[in-house]
Amino acid sequence: MFSIGELSKRTEVKVPTIRYYEEMGLLSEPERTEGNQRRYDVAGLERLSFIKHARDLGFSIEAISELIELQGHPDRSCQAATDIAVSQLSDVRAKIKRLRALEKELVRISKGCDGEGVSQDCYVLASLADHELCRHEH
């Protein structure tokens, strides 16, 4: 049995975050000591590792809820799990696409000024004031 602090160390999830996951229903309520402190078993550790891994991969709390729900029913179709993963992938790809456009624009903007001049003549400020100077969509 682990205390919340031990669980935190083993999973690299901060203590308040663990309590937050419990409140959100991702973690089931663990046993308590007589003095009301949480005590976790291996199942709790595995559950939290799952959540941590999914969060690291960018899945939302809501998506993780669904995945955990599915995990609890071994005989159910896993179509929903694949759907969630595919949708997460397309989210990530959309974000990358958008950030790449921003990157190009920011390269142009920051190359345009070395910081040696004054505000009035600054290419950075001029570029922000006028989207027409932009080469890409964003």
Query: For binding to its own copies (CB under 8 A), which residues are involved?
Result: 46, 49-50, 53-54, 56-58, 67, 70-71, 73-86, 88-89, 92-93, 95-96, 99-100, 102-103, 105-107, 109-110, 113-122, 124-125, 128-129, 131, 138
38 lies in the binding site for DNA (CB under 7 A):
yes
The amino acid at residue 44 is G
Asked whether the beta carbons of 48 and 21 are under 8 A apart, the reply is: yes
Q: Which stretch binds DNA (CB under 7 A): 13-21, 74-82, 97-105, 107-115?
A: 13-21
Binding footprint of DNA, residue count (CB under 7 A): 21
73 lies in the binding site for Zn ion (CB under 5 A):
no
**Residue whose token pair is 């991969």:** 57
Site string for DNA, 18-37 (x = CB under 7 A): -xx------------xxxxx
Interactions with Zn ion, residue window 11-40 (CB under 5 A): none
Closest CA to 18 of 6, 33, 1, 32: 6
> ∠ CA 131-90-103 to the nearest 5 degrees?
30
Asked whether the beta carbons of 51 and 26 are under 8 A apart, the reply is: yes
